[in-house]
Amino acid sequence: MVRLLASLYFFIFVSIIVINQSSEYIWRNWGNQAPNELSYATQVAVNLRDVLNSVGVEHYDQKETLNIININDVAWFPEQRIALENDEVVISFDSNDNYQLSMLLSDDESIIQLGPFAPSRASFFTKYGFRLISFSVLGLLLILWLRPLWRDLEQLKVITERLATGKLDIATKPSRFSAISALTQHIQKLALQTASLMQNQKQLVNAVSHELRTPLARLKFALAMLAPKDPQQVHAMNQDVVEMELLIDEMLSYARLEFSEREMTKEHVNLSELVQEQIDKSAATSRKQITQAVEPNIIVNGNEHYLARVLQNLLQNAEKYGDKQIFIELRALHQGEVILSICDDGPGIPIDKRNNVFSPFTRLDTSRSKETGGFGLGLAIVAKILGWHSGKCWIEDSQFGGAAFTVTLPTIQKLKT
């Protein structure tokens, strides 16, 4: 930042000096080509004095128009008096910049004064045109200084956009004239390292998917062969293997979400129909009483598959930990949002732990027993998918005494029925 500020200060300082000197030179040699009126008036005054000295003031035809005074009637400055005695024209100015010409006649006593004369006013272009041109040149020079900086910022934008969408082929060319070229190179290096880590993670997920499933399949086959010898022990071991498979599936599913956003397409989704569809699926297998209050024809912009995954995870959560009943409510708000609430009558979630449940592999042992299953990834998946859709989820106390999961999403419209 110090380099950037120093570069900008030095550039503006030098530019102003160059522009001022150039403007002054142009004005002297091009913009002020008209005859100097003061020099012209002085020459006319000298000619008039010569005429008066030659013919005499008393014989001049227009002597009544002349202002002739005695030299002692005016308190001259010493240098002015010397100039008059040396036959020079003395120029004086009043408070309005009007000028007056004074000169001594040959009798060494009479002073003839011409004026006062108002100086000619500069034209509009002369007064403001050079200022406008000077500021325009300064603005152009600033644009030239900012161009390499703008190019580097654009490349930083491209880097972040490509990383956000999962595109790892990053190649940029920072400008060596930019004041932030070093910063751009550091960020590009960091982006390449991040891209490498993302690529390694993707390869690790693929490797885990293949390398862990193969030994587990062999272990299940071996357990099946040993089942007749010790059925009870083999059954317990087989449950552990199944749990490992489920854990691997859940981990891989969460890991793949990191690469799914760039492939996700969004469209108009009738959230009311999607919620109703998921409720019907849950009601077909649930032993709990499910009630609902779903407003019809609420449209959101999103991916139907991933929004369905959010609903599935929340409904499964309510099914696992609810006691006897589940309540689902969907309604549109006036602020352009839709709100979805899924309430249960289970043990609930302590206030100080509600934010933690959206972190991966977080399980609340005090309120959620291991027998209910789950690995602490379901709500983490919900939070990630809602983030893609500019939504959010939080936990409140349910009206039935359990937990109430509330989801908000930006809505497009509510269709008329």
pLDDT, one tens digit per residue, over 345-357 is 998 888 888 888 8
- In this predicted model, what pLDDT tens digit does every residue of 231-268 receive, in sequence order? 777 777 777 777 777 777 777 777 667 666 666 788 99
Is residue 100 one of the residues assigned to a domain? yes
Strand partners, 332: 338
d(CA 201, CA 196): 9
* pLDDT of the residue at 396: 93
Is residue 237 one of the residues assigned to a domain? yes
- 387 vs 14, more confident: 387
Q: Are 87 and 61 in the same domain? A: yes
Q: Are 292 and 401 in the same domain? A: yes
Is residue 24 one of the residues assigned to a domain? no
Q: Are 393 and 289 in the same domain? A: yes
Q: Is the pLDDT of residue 310 over 90?
A: yes
Boundary of a domain, candidates 64, 87, 117? 117
d(CA 164, CA 204): 20
- 365 vs 72, more confident: 72
Query: Which residue range(s) make up the domain with 285?
Result: 265-414
Q: Are 381 and 294 in the same domain? A: yes
Is residue 162 one of the residues assigned to a domain? no
- In this structure, which amino acid lies at residue 137? V
pLDDT-derived band of residue 34, with 50, 70 and 90 as boundaries? very low
pLDDT-derived band of residue 167, with 50, 70 and 90 as boundaries? low
pLDDT-derived band of residue 370, with 50, 70 and 90 as boundaries? very low
- In this predicted model, what pLDDT tens digit does every residue of 110-155 receive, in sequence order? 888 888 887 766 556 666 676 777 778 878 888 877 777 777 777 7
Q: Are 344 and 274 in the same domain? A: yes
Say how many Å lie between the first and final Cα of the chain, rounded: 59
CA 71 to chain centre: 76
Is residue 17 one of the residues assigned to a domain? no
Q: Are 110 and 245 in the same domain? A: no
Q: Which of 65-74, 169-178, 372-381 has the lowest mean pLDDT?
A: 169-178
d(CA 318, CA 313): 9
* pLDDT of the residue at 153: 78
Is residue 319 one of the residues assigned to a domain? yes
Say what the pTM is.
0.52
Q: Are 231 and 337 in the same domain? A: no
d(CA 272, CA 308): 11
Distances (CA, A) of 139 to 36, 126, 128, 411: 33, 20, 16, 45
Is residue 192 one of the residues assigned to a domain? no
Q: What proportions of the chain, in percent to the nearest 5, are helix, strand and coil?
A: 55, 15, 25
8 A C-beta contact, residue 268 and residue 303: no
Q: Are 410 and 269 in the same domain? A: yes
Q: Are 252 and 285 in the same domain? A: no
8 A C-beta contact, residue 364 and residue 349: yes
Q: Are 357 and 373 in the same domain? A: yes
Boundary of a domain, candidates 117, 133, 163? 117
Q: Are 326 and 357 in the same domain? A: yes
Among 396, 275, 395, 407, residue whose Cα is nearest residue 333: 407
CATH number at residue 309: 3.30.565.10
Among 175, 129, 133, 134, residue whose Cα is nearest residue 154: 175
Is residue 379 one of the residues assigned to a domain? yes
Q: How many domains does the chain have?
A: 3
- In this predicted model, what pLDDT tens digit does every residue of 384-411 receive, in sequence order? 899 889 899 999 999 888 999 999 999 8
Q: Are 234 and 348 in the same domain? A: no
* pLDDT of the residue at 106: 86
Boundary of a domain, candidates 91, 117, 143? 117
Q: Is the pLDDT of residue 337 over 70?
A: yes
